[in-house]
Amino acid sequence: MSAVQDLLDRLPGTELPEAALGSRAWFPDLQARVYLNHAAVSPPSSLVRAAIAAMLDDYATRGVGAVMDAVAQRERLRAQLAGLVGAHPADIGLLPNTTHGVLAIAHGLDWKRGDRVLCFEGEFPTNVVPWQRAAETYGLELVFESLDDFGSDMARTLERVEAQLRIGLRLVAVSAVQFRDGLAMPLAELVALCHNHGAELFVDAIQAVGIVPLDLRGWGIDYLSCGSHKWLMGTEGCGFLAVHPDRVAALRPRLAGWLSVEDPLDFLFAGVESMHYRKPVRQRADFVEVGAPNALGFAALEAGLAPLLDLGPEAILAHVQAIHDALEGPLVERGLRSLRAGEAAARSGILAFWPPEDIDLPRLLAALAEEGVSASIPDGRLRLSPHWCNSLDQVPAVLEAMDRALARQRR
């Protein structure tokens, strides 16, 4: 059954053209002529807008009566998210963003003073700041390795990680895909290395889920956290944590809340004195669901990922790679230096470049925006991130915009 059709059946009156690779028909109000910024924030599709509107209408009509349908919606979503990352629904906890998943684990492990945690220089701060705070709180030692030669000499970098593991690491924290240059990390190798040395792997997967394959149970990833507003095409304010079943029993749910306990709602429906504070916290990933959730955001997330499920992340990645192929050579001819990984397995949805030396990047970005091309410049790289709704037909417009944007500075 098509995930989109299943949703449309629940949204009476919503009519949409078929979601097809390369079609932007679901984004009728998008201003940019070419939107290459899905690694930053995806614009909500017509289906996402319809799903939010329908849930909002339901709350407006029925008030608390809408809650149980929203709970059922999140259970459907939990199963879909689990499927996307090679997990089971019971491995998933729904969250407000990626950071909350990092926090849950950074404050959820049974740390010993002096435990060492490895982070990577160049990671998005989501996967660093919570570990710094945990280091201060629990007396951990934070160590950093550079990401610099991961793209060019993966074997050497893995050796450096192994050298750190030999000294002794409790946990390695890494992004599945690097936000600055799109490098897809060798997670299966990293997790095997970690486990050989008794360490665990934490993965920030927001730049991967929906476009780059991940297999939490198959590869043995210990913890994975993700937000919804990039490749999953939901809105901001939602995300999820996945915990490997072998790790869940050892978690210390220090950040538990009223909805983290077994049968948390019972007292709302039973008689007087049915409320007490002795209920055990659920020993499952969903203990992170601590209080009232972002119901509208999770409705949006289900609608954002429905076309991904129908089109298939593998087909989407191949489609996006074809766009990268068409952009990379001509942009290099124009003086940009490509940061794209040589190996196909290390590629992702992000195509990034160093700007030409004579070009001021913020000014280039502004000029591209004026020419109708939406891109980003994280940490000094020009980042282009097309998704299923971009097409090869847009490539000439991007190149023309680049020519005009470069000419403005070289004039």
Residues that bind ligand PLP in the complex, under the rule CB under 6 A: 97-99, 124, 126, 175, 179, 204, 206-207, 227, 239
Alpha helices (H) in 124-275, listed in sequence order = 129-138, 154-167, 187-196, 216-219, 245-248
Q: How far is the CB of 350 from ligand PLP (least distance, A)?
A: 9
What SS3 state is found at 332?
helix
Q: How far is the CB of 348 from ligand PLP (least distance, A)?
A: 11
Residue 208 or 401: the one with the smaller Cβ distance to ligand PLP is 208
Residue 4 or 232: the one with the smaller Cβ distance to ligand PLP is 232
Radius of gyration of the chain (CA): 22
Packing angle of the helix pair 3-10, 46-62 (nearest 10 deg): 30
Q: How far is the CB of 4 from ligand PLP (least distance, A)?
A: 25
State residue 241 phi and psi, 5-degree precision: -115, 140
Q: How far is the CB of 179 from ligand PLP (least distance, A)?
A: 3
* Closest C-alpha to 324, from 232, 235, 390, 280: 390
Q: How far is the CB of 338 from ligand PLP (least distance, A)?
A: 20
Residue 213 or 356: the one with the smaller Cβ distance to ligand PLP is 213
Q: How far is the CB of 112 from ligand PLP (least distance, A)?
A: 27
Q: How far is the CB of 203 from ligand PLP (least distance, A)?
A: 10
CA of 347: how far to CAs of 52, 146, 152, 275, 321, in Å?
33, 19, 12, 52, 8
Q: How far is the CB of 204 from ligand PLP (least distance, A)?
A: 5
Burial class (CB in 10 A: 0-12, 13-18, 19+), 41: middle
Q: How far is the CB of 376 from ligand PLP (least distance, A)?
A: 10
Report the distance separating Cα 244 and Cα 15, nearest Å: 39
Residue 3 or 387: the one with the smaller Cβ distance to ligand PLP is 387
Alpha helices (H) in 198-273, listed in sequence order = 216-219, 245-248
User: How distant is the alpha carbon of residue 61 from its chain centre?
Assistant: 33
User: How distant is the alpha carbon of residue 184 from its chain centre?
Assistant: 13
What SS3 state is found at 322?
helix
Using an 8 Å Cβ cutoff, are 42 and 230 in contact?
Answer: yes
In which element (H, E) is residue 175 found? Answer: strand 171-175
Residue 4 or 122: the one with the smaller Cβ distance to ligand PLP is 122
Residue 102 or 194: the one with the smaller Cβ distance to ligand PLP is 102
Q: How far is the CB of 131 from ligand PLP (least distance, A)?
A: 13
Report the distance separating Cα 385 and Cα 290, nearest Å: 33
Residue 335 or 378: the one with the smaller Cβ distance to ligand PLP is 378
Residue 46 or 98: the one with the smaller Cβ distance to ligand PLP is 98
State residue 127 phi and psi, 5-degree precision: -100, 20
User: How distant is the alpha carbon of residue 221 from its chain centre?
Assistant: 15
Q: Residue with the closest Cβ to ligand PLP?
A: 227
In which element (H, E) is residue 280 found? Answer: none
**Which tokens is 368 given?**
């591209």
Residue 210 or 310: the one with the smaller Cβ distance to ligand PLP is 210
Report the distance separating Cα 359 and Cα 151, nearest Å: 25
Residue 231 or 394: the one with the smaller Cβ distance to ligand PLP is 231
